Chains A and B, each alone.
Chain A
Amino acid sequence: MPDLFPQPGGDGGAGSKPARVVDRAGLDAVIRSLQSRGYRTVGPTVRDRAISLAEISGVADLPQGWHDSQSPGSYRLTPGADLEIFGWAVGADSVKRQLLPPREVVWRAGAQDLVPHEEPAAGLAPLALVGVRPCEVAALGILDRVLGGGRVTDPRYASRREGLFICTVECGSPASTCFCTSMGTGPGAESGFDLAMTEIVEEDDPRYLVRVGSDRGAAVLDEVESQPATLRDEAARQEVLARARTRMGHGVVTEGLPELLERNLENPRWDQVASRCLSCGNCTQVCPTCFCVSVEDITDLAGTVERRRRWASCFEVGHSYIHGGAVRPTTRSRYRQWATHKLGTWHAQFGTSGCVGCGRCIAWCPVGIDLREEVSAIRASDGMRALAPRPGGG
């Protein structure tokens, strides 16, 4: 698979540049430098009791001192007096909203002029994401394969993705819902970024070890006052990552996962989870890689036609509607679609897993259904069949 939006990141080229260290003021200067280059800078902020991505003007907008605690079906964010800026794990919001907005108009046509005309693609300044986690960067890599130019290219996605600047921050504070180590997407950042930071909190003010992943990244960092990273800084980074690994929740055994799921389509566990599942679709909405949209044509009284699309979900009955009815009419069949697509059939379809282990679907499920637990229950009962055959496979 060719690199669709090349961003070397750590492996040769610009990536071989030695790491630097900046302080809080230096981080602010990185943000300002991006702005002076014409980027809209978007990063983590506190909004509505959760971490979510929004436009930031400088380091003061970042969630300094905020910490979260997450478990299945539960998320709490609390303020603190400390100087740590990135002391939390991902909130419900993800980079998906920035590149694949929840609602957008695809085209409009007037009453007379029935030739659809394309909306000007975004028309906005290019985006710089500052302070997004490595699992977010990995999710972007997955979305790239789906929407950015594999078999099909979504022009809207591609235009937003092109020129995207990514300044990731490695993860020092995973939640109990996180399992990026299982999915190989974190807590460290390996590739796909322009700059990668690690927040090092010791006695004094936090400092930021910055690694360069692209020429663009190098140019930005060159403008900022920084020190060469010392051996002590490098060791501190390794310690942050090692601690993060131990603070992670339990993981998922990924070995042979697609095959495991494929031979367990009739496992009674699907009935068990369906009795608890609300079919509300929150898991797919918060998942950074769920890309399903519904396309609707709307007319108005003046005769204008508008084609709109919105986030959709395989938990909607209409998602599997073909003539005559829905192929997945039950919650059992819909939950199974979600889990087997994310962890199984995605491999055959796009060549990777559809899951980056961010844990959002676990924390933001109102009834706390835990994808990891469902998978390990299936593994434990591998090969078990549902008691009665099901007409129509529902």
Chain B
Amino acid sequence: MSSSPSGFHPTIAVFKFASCDGCQLSLLDCEDELLALAGAVRIANFQEMSRATIEGPYDIAFVEGSITTSHDLERLQRIRATSTTLITIGACATAGGIQALRNFADVQEYTAVVYPRPEFIRTLATSTPIAEHVRVDFELRGCPINRHQLLEVITAALAGRRPAVPRHSVCAECKQRGTTCLLVAGATPCLGPVTQAGCGAICPAVGRGCYGCYGPAEAANPSALGDRLLAGGMAPADVTRWFRTFNSAAPVFTKESLRHDPQRQR
């Protein structure tokens, strides 16, 4: 297979900001499809795979990670300017990631505790999603992203169609696979009703409540779920913690976490 079905042979680049690399590694995780993929696209920049880089412009830029320094911001703007399509991948890029917990705290306090010479650390007070700074053409959610969804986004781009990446709740996938609802059966708290699908509802299937890795579902109603968790006996501070994991900077999750936050009722 030397080119994509449509004959479109795009140049793809992968860029990283504040992140763990897990999402871009999902690309290498596409083991069965990797050869076909390498034949269908030109990989111009992908440090996890090869040090060889090709200068832009790029047809598709995949951007992982959040913006935590002013240098990040300049680099991001250059990437946007040289890329036709910019797709953010993962919770860091789409919602600030776990490092967005700094948004609720004093980042200087953190650096003082973590680094022996905190004066060398130059960082922004917040961790913010890519879409807060540049135009984003598509957001692929998850912590980490799901490789099937990544392939779907790439094959959709090659075919010039819309990716089938639904924005409904995890509950739909949970019911489709026939898992008994953890909330209703009284087993354990679950964020599935407010979280976007994409993972295949894997956690509820093994008896763990959804952690919210894919961020808010379309039309999510976090305060209704927050009330339900409280009624189920969860302490308000724990409701705050539940909404403050990988997607804490997603506005509706931020809002619900603050509603129960004993420290800062903004």
- Which residues does A use to contact B, with CB under 8 Å? 47-50, 52, 73-77, 91-93, 97, 102-103, 111, 275-282, 285-286, 294, 296-303, 310-311, 313, 315-318, 331, 334, 363-367
Contact = CB atoms under 8 A, between A and B. Distances in A.
B168 A281 contact: yes
A366 B156 contact: no
Contact of B219 (A52, A279, A294): A279
Contact of A49 (B39, B159, B180): B180
Given A275-B224, A276-B224, A285 B172 contact: yes
Given A299-B155, A301-B4, A316-B168, A364 B181 contact: yes
Interface in B59-73: none
Contacts of A301: 1, 4-5, 33, 36-37, 39-40, 151, 155, 158
A285 B187 CA distance: 20
Contacts, number: 144
Given A47-B180, A297-B161, A300-B33, 15 more contacts: A48-B179, A49-B180, A75-B185, A278-B194, A279-B217, A281-B171, A282-B181, A285-B171, A285-B175, A297-B164, A299-B5, A299-B158, A311-B172, A316-B166, A318-B168
A366 B183 contact: yes
Contact of B187 (A49, A282, A315): A49
A299 B159 contact: yes
Nearest to A73: B184
A366 B184 contact: yes
Contacts of B261: none
Given A75-B184, A299-B159, A303-B5, A317 B176 contact: no
Contact of B185 (A50, A278, A294): A50
A49 B186 CA distance: 10
A277 B224 contact: yes
B209 to A, nearest CB: 11
Find the residue from B4, B33, B183 having the highest chain A CB count within 10 A. Answer: B183
24 contacts: A50-B180, A75-B180, A102-B177, A278-B169, A278-B224, A279-B219, A280-B172, A280-B194, A280-B217, A281-B172, A285-B171, A294-B166, A299-B155, A301-B37, A302-B1, A311-B172, A313-B172, A318-B166, A365-B184, A366-B171, A366-B184, A366-B193, A366-B228, A367-B224
B67 to A, nearest CB: 28
A311 B172 CA distance: 8
B152 interface: yes
B229 to A, nearest CB: 10
B101 interface: no
Contacts of B217: 279-280
A177 B181 CA distance: 17
A76 B186 contact: yes
Contacts of A76: 185-186
A298 B163 CA distance: 8
Given A76-B186, A301-B36, A277 B221 contact: yes
A111 B180 contact: no
A367 B164 contact: no
B178 A52 contact: yes
A26 to B, nearest CB: 31
B124 interface: no
B178 A97 contact: yes
Closest 5 CB pairs of A and B: A303-B5, A102-B176, A280-B193, A285-B175, A301-B36
Contacts of A311: 172, 175-176
Contacts of A280: 169, 171-172, 192-194, 217
Contacts of B255: none
A367 B225 contact: yes
Nearest to A313: B172
B80 interface: no
Contacts of A363: 184
Nearest to B35: A301
A48 B205 CA distance: 9
A366 B181 contact: yes
